[in-house]
Amino acid sequence: MLEGYLQRKAAWEILLKVSSGMYSDLALEKVLSNYKFNSLDIAFITELSFGCIRYRKLLDYWTDHTSKLNHHKQPPKLRWLLHIGLYQILKMDKVPDSACISTSVEIAKKTELNKLSGVVNAILRNATRKLKSNNLPKLPKNQAERISLKESLPLWLINEMIAWFGIVETKKIAMSFNKKPKIDLRINSLKTTIRESLEIFQNNNIEVEPINNLINGMELKSKPRSIRKLPGYFEGKWLIQDRSSQWVAPLLRPKKGDKILDACAAPGTKTTHLAQLIKDEGQILATDRSDTRLKLLKENLERLDIKSVKTLKVDATKLIEIMPQYIDYFDKILIDAPCSGLGTLARNPDARWKITKETINQLITIQEKLLENIVPLLNKNGLLVYSTCTICPSENNLLIEKFLKKNKNLQLVFEKQILPNNDDLGDGFYAAIVSKKN
Ligand SMILES: C[S@@+](CC[C@H](N)C(=O)[O-])C[C@H]1O[C@@H](n2cnc3c(N)ncnc32)[C@H](O)[C@@H]1O
Phi and psi at 309, nearest 5°, equal -110, 130
Contact 166, 174 (CB under 8 A): no
pLDDT in tens, 52-71: 999 999 999 999 999 888 88
CATH assignment at residue 250: 3.40.50.150
> Band of the pLDDT at 17, cuts 50, 70, 90?
very high
CA of 153 to the centre of ligand 1 (A): 26
**Cα 17 to Cα 288: distance, rounded to the nearest angstrom:** 28
Residues 192 and 152 in one domain: no
pLDDT in tens, 129-183: 999 999 999 999 999 999 999 999 999 999 999 999 999 999 999 999 999 889 9
Residues 86 and 195 in one domain: no
Residues 91 and 157 in one domain: no
Nearest ligand 1 atom, CA 339? 1
Per-residue pLDDT, 291: 96
Percentage of residues of the chain with pLDDT beyond 70: 100
Residues 299 and 385 in one domain: yes
- The best mutation among 242, 243, 264 to test binding of ligand 1, ranked by most ligand atoms within 8 Å of the C-beta, falls on 264
Q: Which of 192, 208, 240 is the last residue of a domain?
A: 240
Residues 154 and 85 in one domain: no
Residues 214 and 168 in one domain: no
pLDDT in tens, 314-373: 999 999 999 999 999 999 999 999 999 999 999 999 999 999 999 999 999 999 999 999
Phi and psi at 86, nearest 5°, equal -65, -40
Using alpha carbons, select from 236, 237, 156, 131 the residue that is nearest to residue 192.
237
Residues 90 and 16 in one domain: yes
Encoded amino acid at 268, one letter: G
CA of 351 to the centre of ligand 1 (A): 17
Return the ∠ at Cα 233 (arms to 227 and 239), rounded to 5°.
80
The residue ranking higher by pLDDT, 387 or 68, is: 387
Question: What is the average pLDDT value for the chain, to the nearest integer?
Answer: 95
Per-residue pLDDT, 208: 95
> Band of the pLDDT at 222, cuts 50, 70, 90?
confident
Residues 236 and 257 in one domain: no
Q: Which of 138, 167, 201 is the last residue of a domain?
A: 138
In sequence order, the β-bridge partners of residue 383 are 332, 435
Contact 257, 281 (CB under 8 A): yes
CA of 200 to the centre of ligand 1 (A): 33
> Band of the pLDDT at 2, cuts 50, 70, 90?
confident
**Cα 343 to Cα 362: distance, rounded to the nearest angstrom:** 18
Contact 297, 266 (CB under 8 A): yes
Using alpha carbons, select from 137, 165, 166 the residue that is nearest to residue 58.
137
Per-residue pLDDT, 228: 87
pLDDT above 80 (res 424):
no
Average pLDDT score over residue span 32-38: 93
Q: What is the pTM of this model?
A: 0.94
- The best mutation among 184, 244, 288 to test binding of ligand 1, ranked by most ligand atoms within 8 Å of the C-beta, falls on 288
Average pLDDT score over residue span 24-43: 93
Residues 225 and 302 in one domain: no
Residues 296 and 222 in one domain: no
CATH assignment at residue 206: 3.30.70.1170
CA of 385 to the centre of ligand 1 (A): 14
Residues 346 and 418 in one domain: yes
Nearest ligand 1 atom, CA 248? 8
In this structure, the residue with its CA closest to atom 18 of ligand 1 is 315
Total structural domains within the chain: 4
Residues 71 and 120 in one domain: yes
- For this structure, is 52 an active site residue? no
Q: Provide the domain limits for residue 365.
A: 245-436
pLDDT in tens, 266-294: 999 999 999 999 999 999 999 999 999 99
